[in-house]
Amino acid sequence: MNKSVVFIFIALMLTACSRSYDGGYNLPLLYKIDIQQGNVIEQEMIDKLKPGMDKNQVKFIMGTPVLIDPFHNDRWEYIYSFQKGGNVREQRHITLHFEEEKLAYISGDIEVSNLPRKQNDIVTEEEAIVVPEKEKEEKGIFSRMLDAINPLDDE
């Protein structure tokens, strides 16, 4: 009887000490939520960026940056991370560099085809993240009615 109580006590103590890589507990039947943080970065947003755009135009396309370093006002950081249900966290990071208040180049882990890159910013195939294309949504009844009223307002 004493041995089984001691064994159960030791097993409970060892279970209390075990944590997963993300700091949470590995308890069975424990639900973990999806965690999404930062700016969602899509390929169509990046494709709209052109060299020479001013900061307001870039902010309109990309949204407010996560970080603007007060010591480097000419650099905007966009970070996106996603962790699905306690799994390994996936992270994307791009940096927009400005020269004389105009967009000069982009560095980070997303490949950009229409902007010049610095030579030491080489992205390997393993580091590059391919953002999937967004599927076109079918228009609803109200959108079709608005198109019938004003057909010149199409995108």
Number of domains forming the structure of the chain: 1
Residues 66, 77 contacting (CB under 8 angstroms): yes
In a domain, 11, yes or no: no
Q: Which domain holds residue 112?
A: 32-134
Chain mean pLDDT for the chain: 76
In a domain, 125, yes or no: yes
In a domain, 26, yes or no: no
Count the Cβ atoms, other than its own, within 10 Å of residue 119.
Answer: 6
pTM of the prediction?
0.53
In a domain, 73, yes or no: yes
Of 43-47, 49-53, 58-62, 114-118, which gets the smallest average pLDDT? 114-118
In a domain, 22, yes or no: no
In a domain, 1, yes or no: no
Nearest to 98 by CA among 90, 106, 110: 106
For 51-109, the pLDDT digits (tens) are 888 888 888 888 888 888 888 888 999 988 888 877 778 888 888 899 998 998 888 87
Tell me what percent of the residues of the chain surpass a pLDDT of 90: 1
pLDDT higher than threshold 80 for residue 37: yes
